[in-house]
Amino acid sequence: MLKVGVVGCTGYSGQELVDILLDHPGVEITCLTARFDKPEIYSDVYPRFKGRTSLVCESLNVDAVCEKTDLIFTALPHTISMDVVPRFIEKGKKVIDLSADYRLSSKEYTNAYRKEHSDVENIDKAVYGLPEMNRDKIKKAFLVANPGCYPTSVILGLLPIIKEVKQAGLNIVVDSKSGASGAGRKADISLSFSEINENFKCYKPNEHQHIPEMESILSRVVKGEIQVNFIPHLLPVTRGILSSIYIEDKGVGAEAALRKKYVDYFSGEPFIRISEQNYMPGIRDVAGTNYCDIGIKIVRGMIIIVSVIDNLLKGASGQAVQNMNIMFGLDETAGLK
């Protein structure tokens, strides 16, 4: 059995990791950490785990975690991860980091965040953990940068056609909607129930922190510069992301041919489903699963791609477990649905 630890086990994605890993046939969770004054029984902190685990969670002690694990998931806020991850790597441990700290190159990171990364040694060696793009690299990686939730939905929605879009110089507009758990469980008035419930609003239009990640990864694919106009919205639901991608159709092709292109591109991918003609997928189709569903339409000269995921699964912990399965030669779908 593979021995794994979850650092940041109290967060939304940390809890999802524990949930998946407890039922994973090839894995044993050997340690859980977050910020605790004294050790706590995990199922006392989160009663939904009662009867499933008697694990005790503690505050982070790097040596203790390394002694007990083969692989560590770090589910920490960005800028915190980059202080913790190198200490595990130094001790020869493999890491899957869920934060944004290792998704860009060091140069891109400095440009995007206007400050130096504190772990330049590892940032440029990390593998971007999108299996549909980097499976072979993930197999050999010691550090996987698990993709962001919005970028997962957008990049998967664009991968099959991004080269043609670049070649034709077409403008990409992405209108994304996310459930509130995408922001984590931190206290924030704008995330409180009364602010979100029965409301729907746009935030950070074309200024969201995930834009550099989408542009960087897509630019690597086309070996040229890609710009994404990204307009995020906050939905009054807990989980799920729906990204509507709009591209003016100047010769990319007819709808049936475009759908076939997507089907062929993702052929054999266990977690990508291309929707039938005239069906646009919804959040409920993927909530609670590791699937990304993609709907395709060309109408009145506009290509419309709709890509939906569960932000906490394909957008975070499910994808992290998919990456673990690939890194350790396990069945890629093990533990996932």
Ligand X SMILES: NC(=O)c1ccc[n+]([C@@H]2O[C@H](COP(=O)([O-])OP(=O)(O)OC[C@H]3O[C@@H](n4cnc5c(N)ncnc54)[C@H](OP(=O)(O)O)[C@@H]3O)[C@@H](O)[C@H]2O)c1
Which residues are near ligand X by CB under 6 A? 8, 10-14, 34-35, 75-78, 80, 98-100, 148-149, 181-182, 184-186, 311-312, 315-316
Distance of alpha carbon 27 from the chain centroid: 21
Is residue 144 within 8 Å of 138, Cβ to Cβ? yes
* Shortest spacing between CB 76 and ligand X, in angstroms: 4
| DSSP-derived secondary structure letter, 28 | E
The least distance separating ligand X from the CB of residue 58, rounded to whole angstroms, comes to 11
SS3 content of the chain, % helix, strand, coil (to 5): 35, 20, 40
Residue type, 194: S
Distance spanning both ends of the chain, measured CA to CA: 20
DSSP H helical segments within 128-251, as ranges? 131-140, 149-158, 162-167, 193-196, 211-222
Specify the residue, 65 or 296, whose C-beta has the smaller distance to ligand X: 65
Are the beta carbons of 248 and 301 closer than 8 angstroms?
Answer: yes
Question: 180 burial class (0-12, 13-18, 19+ CB within 10 angstroms)?
Answer: buried
Let me know: does 147 contact 129? Beta carbons within 8 Å: yes
Shortest Cβ distance from residue 244 to ligand X (Å)?
19
- Of 76 and 305, which CB lies nearer to ligand X in the complex structure? 76
- Structure tokens given for 197: 């419930």
Whole-number minimum distance, CB 227 to ligand X, in Å? 23
Shortest distance (Å) from residue 264 CB to ligand X: 29
H or E segment and range at residue 96: strand 94-97
CB neighbourhood size of 305 (10 A): 25
> 165 vs 242, which CB is nearer to ligand X?
242
9 is catalytic: no
Whose Cβ is closer to ligand X: residue 163's or residue 185's? 185
DSSP string, 105-137: -HHHHHHHHSS--TTHHHHTTPEE--HHHHHHH
Nearest residue (CB) to ligand X, 212 versus 258: 212
Q: 145 has which bridge partners? A: 97, 128
CB of 286 to ligand X, least distance (A): 13
Catalytic residue among 9, 57, 66, 149: 149
Q: Pick between residue 33 and residue 244 the one whose CB is nearest to ligand X.
A: 33
Q: What is the Cα gyration radius of the chain?
A: 20
In the complex, minimum distance from the CB of residue 272 to ligand X, in angstroms, rounded to a whole number: 18
Looking at the Cβ atoms of 15 and 249, the one nearer to ligand X is 15
Report CA 129 to chain centroid distance, whole Å: 8
- Bridge-based pairing of strands 172-178 and 229-234 is parallel
Q: Which residues are catalytic?
A: 149
